[in-house]
Structure 1
Amino acid sequence: MNTEHPTTSTPQPSVLFVCVHNAGRSQMAAAYLQHLAGGRIEVRSAGSEPADTVNPAAVQAMAEEGIDISAHRPRVLTTEAVQDSDVVITMGCGDVCPFFPGKRYEDWTLDDPAGQGIDSVRPIRDDIKTRIQRLIAELLPTPVRGDHHA
């Protein structure tokens, strides 16, 4: 039994992003969470009807942020992925996501970037980034440096 590092016993939070095609919104959200959380949160994404490839406009929009998702591939939603996640965030996939008690579920209402150009995808990307920053703050509460409440 390892008692040297009691803080390591806290399990890493895990988040699953689900949208229909797993080609745009959920891919951007997963990429932001991986990038901004620095590996402190386990990240998954899936689609109820996954596309063949990630939306090129989503790839371009994330590249503008310095995040490369060009090698990402849409994945099919599995019951196991939901079971293995603490937080399940759906994005317009309706009731296809299996429900398990004890999970935190959120539905993010976001425009679908499918078939849209980069100018339409940028505001969706920026909305996702704001939501991801808020999610990280909720899942990884840390003291804020320079807190002026004292």
Structure 2
Amino acid sequence: MFMKPKVAFICVHNSCRSQIAEALGTLFASDTFESYSAGTEQVPFINPDAIKTVLEVYQYDMTNQYSKTLDKIPDVDIVITMGCNVICPFLPCRYREDWGIEDPTGKSAIDFIDTANIIYKKILDLKFRIETGIIT
């Protein structure tokens, strides 16, 4: 029986890129992996521009998501860091990679859409690599 791997998308504040990745992972890859997001710090709310972008572009409502720290997610199999230019604390996993995505916070709506589209493509690529056994 196939056990879906748990994937953690990690960022500093868990308010924008990692939240978008959790949402798009849930929307487009939940048949292949479980998506979680967390940060090294917690903030009071998710970036409103991230919520708006995912809703407008992908028709997915992120309003039930919330910022959480690493200790608030289950043990994971795969860790994806979003490119925060900080040293992430050790999070045990079988596989890890960094996506190196620039934070669109404080930038234009087009920057948010571009960021979401980059994450979308990376989610589909991750899904393919898991399904074909490239990542085990």
TM bracket (short chain): 0.7 to 0.9
- Who is 2:69 aligned against? 76
Is the 1:22–1:47 Cα contact (8 Å) retained in structure 2? yes
Query: Does 1:121 pair with 2:112?
Result: yes
1:23 is the counterpart of 2:15: yes
TM (norm. structure 2) is 0.86
| Matched residue count | 131
Matched, 1:52 2:31: no
Q: Looking at CA atoms only, which structure, 1 or 2, has the larger radius of gyration?
A: 1
Verify: 1:87 aligned to 2:101, yes or no.
Answer: no
Q: Are residues 1:109 and 2:89 paired?
A: no
Q: Provide structure 1 residue ranges, at least 5 long, that are not aligned to the other structure.
A: 1-7, 143-150
Equivalence for 1:147: none
Q: Which amino acid aligns with 1:72?
A: Q
State the secondary structure of the residue aligned to 1:94.
coil
The structure-2 alpha-carbon separation of the partners of 1:51 and 1:136, relative to structure 1 and needing over 3 Å to count, comes to same
Percent identity between the aligned chains?
30
| 8 Å CA contact 1:32, 1:132 repeated in 2 | yes
Q: Deviations over 1:54-93 (max 9, x none)?
A: 1011001100111110221100112x747x1111001115
**So what's the TM-score if we normalise by structure 1?**
0.79
